[in-house]
Structure formats: structure tokens, C-alpha cells
Structure 1
Amino acid sequence: MEAMMEEPSAPAQPPPPPRSAEATPASGPEGIMEGGGAEHGHDSVDAQDEEYFEAYAEDLYIHEQMLTDEPRTSAYLHAIQGLGERIRGAVVLDVGCGTGVLSIFAARAGARRVYAVEASGMASVAQEVMEKNGVAGVVSVLNCRVEDLVLPEEVDILVSEWMGTALVFESMWEGVLLARDRWLKMGGLVLPARAQLWGAPVELESLWATKVNMWKEVWGIDMSPLVPRAKERFFGRPIINHPITADAVVGPGELLLDLDMASATKEDIEDFTHVWTTKPTRRATLHGAVLWFVCSFPNNVEERLHRVEEQLEQVLSALETSAAAAHDGGGHVKALQAEVMEAQAASVEHVELSTSPWAALTHWGHNLLVFDSCHQIGPEQDIGWKFQMNRNRHFPRHYHLKLEASPMDTGGNAVDEVQPASETGVAHQSVTAGVPGDSHDQQRTGSGDTEVAAAGAQSVGGAQSWFESKFFPLWR
């Protein structure tokens, strides 16, 4: 699904539904909730879903964003077309079909039957689109929630564009898993087949200058008292509308979540934590991290390669037993050998949809988590990180994110005893305790997820000591 963009002047404020609604951020450390997805009430969920589906029915801008996103839509088109014989004559289920573009791709690729499920009022428009494009005899548009879906048969292929900000926002993945478990045949395909969430440290000098440093002096007036408010306003939530270039990334990418959509479970996606250590790739100012996702799609190459190799083996066997066949079959052998080579070359290729800073920009943008302090880093340092994501137990389409970072000492332990000076030069005692864990993911304690920073910097192992820990509601 799409990640709605907002005006550049307010990068951290949540946009209108369904991506988010104006809401008061969760307060304090209770914003991180373990096992949050299991505790939401049905009345609350129903109200949120009504708002969510109404937005997809009424706001054409959402659909414009998705349909004009060339990397997104072309990835699905190429993936569906690339299935070849696998989709011809198959039964396909499109979860959350919207205007129906993926269902039409499937019908045109040769599917025998496509069930296009859309819970919002956009279903009536999708039906008209099918009729206009001559596929109404193949595509059945079903206006219902996946939970209420009843089909006359199991399906061979399940396709859905379910991804949101930071991959999992909106929790549309839950409907995909439900449809998979109820309706997909054993050995059936899920598109995309794999979904990964990645993260990397970033330097955001221009963003920091325009949103933080500009308040230090405006028209010769010291406006520094507004700096904390500016950080809360602009960096209090993930930023989704500030594209960055690849040179803003100052460390290697880290795989935070890896989902095989044929076997992923609700528990895999609702709550997870990842801890790692990395070295910066250059000297830079660390402002936070960028998140992106990569989705990969299955193709039909392996199946085709196996079929051609079998045919080649049969022909070669015939050539060995018959001189006449040897005389007539030489051309056939060459043709099959050429097809084998072509299939082998194609087998290393696959369709991929990426929202990374190295890929073409998509409507999901680049998801930035910006700390309240910036720090000088270099390739001689080891930086410890901890990323935590928990589903909001009261608003299950929303998530809570927490990001921590700190240099590691020579013994491989994170350093949090001393904090760097704040931008105003005034030393403060940090209210946050605990550090990004080492490879054993040690437990942390403490309170206060959004407090900026602290006491004067000291040198530990030749590098400054600092610690960042910040909570980001996405969006409630």
C-alpha cells in the first residue's frame, strides 16, 4: 500500500488516514509494548477499520500515488508476467485489489479465474474497470473483508500489495496471512514471496540545518528555546517525505526483519527486536537511521530450466540409440542447449521492489528516524545499535518504534555512562539508562525515550562516549 506524503514543511507530522490520523503520541516508555497485537479491543479495531477503508474509498490521491509509482507497479507487472506457464489457467486471489490493476495483470497473463477482494467502496469502481477492460468474465470483484471471504475453490496464487511505511505499518499483512492460510493451495505462490526490512545510519546535514539550527538565531534574535519544540515537531515521528541520496548513508545496511511470506506468522511481525554492531563507512555526523524494504518475487525460470533439461536428456538418449535420430536431431539438440543456457542466465535474475536510497524513488519515500542529538563518527569506531518494533495494542494498524545507538568500547561493550553536550552547550543528565546490547542482546532498564542528551563528552578508547535512545510512534 502507499505511504502518503505530506507537505515538506512538516515532515514528522502524521498525514491524513489511512496512513495515519492526527493523534497524540504515546507518552513515556510505555509506548513500547511487548506482545501489543494481542490486546486490542474489537470495538476499537472496527472503528479504525471503518476509517481506514473509507479513506481508500474516498481519497483518489491514494490510488494516484500507487498507480503512478513506476517502480512499484512495474515490479508487479513483470513478476506476474514472468510466471509464464505457472499462471496460465491458474486461480488467483488479489487481496486488497483497490482499483484492480493487479487483477487485470493476472487476467491478461492467462489466469483462469481471479478473485479480487476489496473491503472499501472502491470495489464498485474496480468492477467497472474490469468491464471496461474486457476481463469481467475472468475477474470476480468481491466487496468484503478478507475475514469474511468465502470462495468456491482454493487458489494457486495469492498476490497483494500490502506494504506500508517501515514495511509493516497499516498491518495489511495480517489479511494476507489469513488469506494464505485459508485459501492458498499447498505449494501455491505468494507475491511478493519475500519481504525484508533494512536499516542503516545516515547523515542529514541539510535537514538538521533547516529544522534545528535555524532556530538558534532568527533575524538576529536568539530563538534557541524553541529548539526542543522543533525537534519534537519535526523529528517526533518517522519522516516519510524527505528523500535522501545514497551518499547520506554512512554505514552498511543491516537486515532487521526477513519474512518468507509462505511461512511467516503473526508473531513474527507483531513484535521484534534486532541488535547489531557496525562500523561507519566514513567520517560523518550521525543524525539517525533510514529504513527501507525490499520485496522479491518468484519467477518461473527454475521450472522452465528443469523442463528443458528433461527434454534435452530425452533427445540425447534417443540420439545414442538411433543413427537416424542422430542425423535428424542435431538441430533440435542445439535449440534445446541454447534454451538451457538462456534459462540458466535468467535464473540469476529475479524481480525485486526496493525502497532503498540506492533504488529509484517510490511513493513510500525514505523512512527516517532522527535522533534529538547528532554525533561525530568515523570508520575506526564500532557503533552498537538496537531496533525495536511493537504493534500498538490499542491501534493495531499502528506500530511503536524504538532506536538506540552508542559507541562500543575496546571490550565490545556499549558505552552509556557519559553523554555529549547538547546543541546549546549546556550539560544535562540523561534520564535514559541502558544501552544497545551486544551479540547476547542484554536486558535494558530505564525510563524516558525522547530525552535529548546529556552530560559533557568524554573519551572512551579514543572516541567520544554518547548514547541515544528514542521512541517513535508510527503514527499512534
Structure 2
Amino acid sequence: MSLDKSVEGEEDKNSDYFDAFARLEMQELLLKDSVRMLAYRKAIWSNKKLFKDRIVMDVGSGTGILALFAAEAGASKVIAVECSGLADTVKEVVKANNKENIVMVVKGTIEEMELPKEIKQVDIILAEWMGHGLYMGSMFHSVLQARDKWLKPGGHILPNLAKLYVAGISDRNYAANLNFWNNVEGFDMSSIKRTVSHEAVVDCVTIQQLMTEECHVHTQDMNTARNETLNFHSNLRLKVLKTGVIHAIVVYFDVSFLLSEMTESTSGFSTSPRAPWTHWEQTLLHLDKPLHVASKEIVTGVFGVVPNANDPHGQNFELAINFKGSLGTMESFKIFSNNQNPLP
């Protein structure tokens, strides 16, 4: 492949990523996520002393709602960075709300843009940097690049702390959905099953589906994280809650706006199956075979987050399960990608 074609391909991937967020139905879903909206609004409006007369950068501004929150909280200037075609729409939204003297909309990526000459650094970075399962389709690296380029020493990122969890669940419908490919209008499409089976599925998990206790596998502090390729593995230890069948491992996260300077108690939210619904829902990693378990048994294994060669904004998940119980055994290893960037 020539260099020009390689660069062109990279640009196409970035274009697809940003265009997905430019769809108004996606933005409407984000705005109707009451858990998300309340957490950000509380973190900003309940701590106006932190924002008063400060310079704020909103990374991945979308419809500009976080930029408007910051302007209302007293920021002297808000730089709303949006790469997609929504940038022009955000300018109209800002004008309609009489904030054009405070909110400056910049169309471009963090990697390519420059600050206006009169602004050298920012005091606060706002971003919804979390993707599904925390890292799939996330803006993690873009926010860290903005931090390293422009955030003042002692400045703040909101939210700044995330914790990643996994648990075993039942999902009796998955096998039937997967077997759909065996016979599609009389045609054998079972070869598609391999790709589908390696997809990390975003879905809503109920409390009733939980088969094990949760296991904390990772903590991310945006203040201290290095802007380098994500590649880590954590041991799993899942205590079974009830006798039954585990069909998948569910991945979810909590985030916190954890700042000592805040005048109000720390805000944040959880995407756990035990918490109220968010647009992130949960991310499911399905096992190739059902795992039969008995109450109080321990399922062990390894969970990993590794680079996705096909997606500059995402990661692959790795899952290894080692289990010997009274009702069954399993030794397995599997890699999962998001459905926009399947495994080769």
C-alpha cells in the first residue's frame, strides 16, 4: 500500500468515526440520557467558583451542551472543539442562546487544531471521552493530547476518574440470534457467524441476568494517564451468585468528577446493570459455549484491553476463562472488536 493510500484510509476511518456522532439521532439520544445530563450539569453548575472567569475547552462538543453549561457557570471563554459537520450547527445554537461572546466553536480535530493566538492555555477540559465498555470508540487519546498541549499546571479534566468492572451474566437469547445465520431464506450464511461471535455487543442487561459478583479490573485517572497505546490485562475472580448458566461477561464502568476544589460533593454515574439506564448501556462478551456453574463457585480468567489495528479510536477486548466446577469446565480465549471494525 502506498503512503498516500494509507493516509487516505486513515482519514476515512476518522471521517466515519466523527460522522457517526454527527447524526442528529445520536445527539438526541445523548441529550435524552438523563443520568449523563444530570451528572455533567451538577459537576459544572454546582461548582461555579471553579468555572468563574476560567478558560474552558469542550473536546468533542457535539451539540454544544457542555460548552453552554460552562458558559452559564461563568467561564470567561469556552472553546468548543467539534470535528464533524455539527460544528456549523453548534455555532447557530451558540448564537441562538446569546453566548457567541463566550463560546468559540472550532471545527477540527485536537490533533490538528491550534488555539487562537490570544489563548495560550486552558484551565478546564470538559469531555465525554468514555466509549462503550469505557474504551471502544472513546476519545481517550484526544483528551489526553489536549491536556498535554494546553491544560495549565493544576488544571482540571471533567470527568477525571473511571473504574472498569466485569461480571458473568446469562443471555439465553444469544444462541438463537447467532443461529439465525445458519439459514437465511434457505441460504447457508453460517460463515458470517464467526465475525458476529467476535463482536462486543452493546445491550441493556437486567439485574436478573447477573450470575456473579462484579470484579474491578481497571482504574483510569485522566490527570496522570500517559497518552500512549492502551494495552493492559487484569486477572478475573468472579464469585457465582446462583446456580445456572453463564453465557457472557458483561463490561461496564463508573466515572467520577473527583476534584478537591469542588464546593459540592463529588458527582458521577455508573453504567452498571444495577444502575439507571444510560446510552452506554453495557458491553457483552459472549462465550462460545455456555458455562454451567453452581452457587459460590469461583470463575477465574484474564480480561485485557489491546489496540485495534482497524480503529484509531477504539480497542479490542481479550477474554480468557479458566474454570473447573461441579457442573462443568472451560478453558477458552477470545478476542472481541466493536461491530464497525471486525477482526481480520
Query: So what's the TM-score if we normalise by structure 2?
Result: 0.87
**Are 1:260 and 2:225 counterparts?**
no
Comparing 42-51 with 82-91, which one deviates more in the overlay? 42-51
CA distance in 1, matches of 2:254, 2:303: 18
Query: Contact 1:91–1:155 (CA<8 Å) still a contact in 2?
Result: yes
Whether contact under 8 Å (1:93, 1:117) holds in the other structure is yes
* Residue 13 of structure 2: aligned partner: 48
The within-5 A match list for 1:113-192 is 113-151=77-115, 152-192=119-159
- Structure number with larger C-alpha Rg: 1
Residue in 2 that maps onto 1:450: none
Give the counterpart letter for 1:89 in structure 2: D
Give the one of 183, 195, 203 matched to 2:162: 195
Question: What whole-Å deviation, never above 9, does each CA across 1:44-91 have from its counterpart, x for those lacking one?
Answer: 32221123233434x211211111111112211111112231111111
- The whole-number CA distance in structure 2 between the counterparts of 1:394 and 1:237 is 14
Give the structure 1 partner of residue 74 of structure 2. 110
Q: 1:211 aligns with which of 168, 173, 177?
A: 177
How far residue 177 of structure 1 moved from its aligned partner, in angstroms, is 0.2
Matched, 1:65 2:29: yes
For 1:227 and 1:374, the matched residues in 2 are separated by 22
Provide the identity percentage.
Answer: 30
Distance across 1 between alignment mates of 2:181 and 2:105: 53
More helix by share: 1
Tell whether 2:212 aligns with 1:246. Answer: no
Instruction: Output aligned runs, 1:28-39, within 5 Å.
Output: none
Between the aligned partners of 2:182 and 2:136, the Cα distance in structure 1 is 35
Aligned letter for 2:64?
G
State the Cα distance separating 1:230 from its structure 2 match. Answer: 8.1
Deviations 1:356-403 (CA, angstroms, capped at 9, x unpaired): 101111112221111111021123422111112211234322322221
User: What's the offset of the Cα at 1:161?
Assistant: 0.8
- Aligned residue among 312, 320, 336 for 1:472: 336
The alignment status of 1:368 with 2:284, answered yes or no, reads: yes
Alignment partners' CA distance in 2, 1:207 and 1:249: 15
Q: Determine the C-alpha separation between the residues in 2 that align with 1:212 and 1:173.
A: 32
What are the within-5 Å matches in structure 2 for residues 227-238 of structure 1? 232=194, 234-238=196-200
Whether contact under 8 Å (1:44, 1:394) holds in the other structure is no
What secondary structure does 1:53 align onto? helix
Equivalent position to 1:295, from 255, 259, 275: 255
Aligned residues: 331
CA contact (8 A) 1:211 1:230 kept: no
Deviation at 1:284, TM superposition (A): 1.6
CA distance in 1, matches of 2:181, 2:149: 55
The RMSD of aligned alpha carbons is 2.7
Aligned residues of 1:212 and 1:227 also touching (Cα < 8 A): no
2:294 pairs with 1:378: yes
Larger RCO (alpha carbons 8 Å, 6+ apart) = 1
Structure 1 contact 251–279 (Cα < 8 Å) conserved: yes
- What residue identity is the alignment partner of 1:260? D
Quote the offset at 1:174 in angstroms.
0.9
Is 1:277 paired with 2:237? yes
Q: CA deviation at 1:214?
A: 8.4
* 1:121 aligned partner, one-letter code: G
1:168 alignment partner, SS class: coil
| CA distance in structure 1 between the partners assigned to 2:18 and 2:94 by the alignment | 21
Q: Which one of 316, 320, 340 corresponds to residue 404 of structure 1?
A: 320
**1:344-363 correspondence runs (5 A):** 349-363=265-279
Runs of 4+ in 1 over 6 A off after TM superposition: 213-217, 225-228
Residues 407-435 of structure 1, C-alpha deviation per residue, up to 9 Å, x if partnerless?
15xxxxxxxxxxxxxxxxxxxxxxxxxxx
Summarize the Cα distance change of 1:216–1:102 in structure 2 as closer, same or farther, 3 Å threshold. closer
- Change in 2 beyond 3 A, CA 1:50/1:229: closer
Measured in 1, the distance between the counterparts of 2:90 and 2:220 equals 30
**Closer/same/farther in 2, CA of residues 380 and 355 from structure 1, 3 Å limit:** closer
Change (3 A) 1:52 1:227: closer
- Distance in 2 (alpha carbons) for counterparts of 1:372 and 1:384: 17
Answer yes or no: is the 8 Å Cα contact 2:58–2:67 preserved in 1. Answer: yes
Cα gap change, 1:93/1:212 in structure 2, threshold over 3 Å: closer, same or farther? Answer: closer
Equivalent residue of 1:466, what SS?
A: strand
Contact 1:381 1:407 in 2 (8 A): no
Unaligned runs of 5+ in 2: 1-5
CA contact (8 A) 1:211 1:231 kept: no
Cα deviation, 1:257-308, whole Å, max 9, x if unaligned, reads 21101111133x62111112232111120111111121111356x665xxxx
